Amino acid sequence: MATAQVSARDTILALAVEMIDADGEAALRMADIAERAGVAVALISHHFGSREGLVSEAQLFRFRRQPFLDAARIEAAVMAIDDVDSFRGLLHELTRDVVGLQRSVLRMERVTEVAATHGRPELREKVMEANREVTDSIQHAMALAQRVGFVRRDLDARALALFVQAYAMGFVLADLDPNRPDDEALATVIDAVTAGLYAS
């Protein structure tokens, strides 16, 4: 019985994320999700409490989604390559993706979620927990890169993870700049700034 409820909860959450991705938070209706999931609205209320609870969970999922994928990409690359120059090349490619305009919507979503915590301590706690999970994931990738000798071992892996998140999210300011340099110029600056992170 518990397995079916977990499965139904995951299905409901996935549909909510899909609907928010497609049409925004305002378009999300519990009746539509219930119909698409083949469940009663009462089951959604059972799992999420209310529409607000469902929206909050979906937004937290969206907050974590891309950073987890990026951390997994770093980990996979560390396992597949065997020299620091290849690792630098991979991080340059990833940096180019992170700073790219195609990520501007994701950055704004994350900033909006953080801003929404103002005056809402319960949501702030949830966002803090989601951010801890993201930081843990990136920290794990950085620690792995340190263990294989790609990143300096004298640097704190969690500080590295927070630095990576800070510059990734901070590019929301570049997205708002009408004279924004191209992605390659931004990635090149990051390469120059982070050159001292690599093991020699």
Q: Contact, 152 vs 146, CB < 8 A?
A: yes
Residues 29 and 25: their CA atoms lie apart, in Å, by: 9
Q: Which CATH class is domain 1-49?
A: mainly alpha
pLDDT tens digits, one per residue of 38-49 = 999 999 999 999
pLDDT of residue 161: 94
- 198: β partners: 151
Tell me, what's the pLDDT at 49? Answer: 92
Q: What 3-state DSSP class applies to 151?
A: strand
C-alpha 48/C-alpha 14 separation (Å) is: 13
Q: Which residues of the chain have pLDDT under 70?
A: 1-6
Look at residue 148 and give its three-state secondary structure: coil
- Where does residue 28 fall: left (phi above 0), alpha (psi -120 to 50 degrees), or beta otherwise? beta
Note the pLDDT of residue 118: 86
Distance (Å, whole) CA 56 – CA 48: 9
- For the chain, domain boundaries: 1-49, 61-197
Q: What is the pLDDT of residues 12-59, one digit of tens each?
A: 999 998 998 888 888 899 999 999 999 999 999 999 999 989 988 888
Distance of CA 119 to the CA centre of its chain: 23
Q: Rounded to whole angstroms, how far apart are CA atoms 112 and 118? A: 10
Find out if CATH 1.10.357 is the number for domain 61-197: yes
